[in-house]
Amino acid sequence: MYKTNPLNPMLSVDIDLFTLCHSDTAAELKINNLPQDAAVITNLTRLCKEVLQPAITHFDLPLFVTSGYRCPKLNVEIGGLPQSQHLYGEAADIMMGGIANDTLAFWLAKNTDFDEIILEKFDPRCGEYGWVHVSCTADKNRKKLSTFDGDSFHDGFHYFDLARK
């Protein structure tokens, strides 16, 4: 088992609570972005154990969380969707050092029990690498795959020439 710290518990072997709650925007605006609901921590733990940790273990590379849990105030400040899974601890926007985001998204889709994976703003032809949004729920996961080109969502994974936008 892994070490536990009551102030910053480990949610999986390599991921602690603070990693999934850190936000530069929250810090800048002095917003407390730590979950106040135990159900959120349960959801974050599930996301780590079922989706994020398997990717870390498989690729043996560092995982970067660009947006994990968002309290309601932070979600409004950054323009998040009103029912964003980030609010419930069910989603994270991630990148992995050493591999392209499409490789990460395809691996997650094939090897984890996810609810939704969105390949966001990814176009290696113009140097736009975006991020991967991934979610996991306690209920039946939908296995939804989509791409966000910066303006619109599209079903499935697609490549767009973002340099022309």
Predicted confidence (pLDDT) per residue in 16-55, tens digit: 999 999 999 999 999 999 999 999 999 999 999 999 999 9
Spatial distance between the Cα atoms of 145 and 106, rounded to a whole number of angstroms: 10
Hey, which bits of 31-90 come out as E strands? Answer: 63-67
Domains of the chain: 17-164 (3.30.1380.10)
Q: How far is CA 10 from the centre of its chain?
A: 17
Cβ density class 32-56: b for 16+ within 10 Å, e for less:
ebebeeeebbebbbbbbeebbbbbb
pLDDT in tens, 58-112: 999 999 999 999 999 999 999 999 999 999 999 999 999 889 999 999 999 999 9
pTM of the complete model: 0.91
Spatial distance between the Cα atoms of 41 and 18, rounded to a whole number of angstroms: 11
Non-local (6+) Cβ contacts of 154 within 8 A are: 146, 147, 148
Total Cβ atoms within 10 A of residue 24: 8
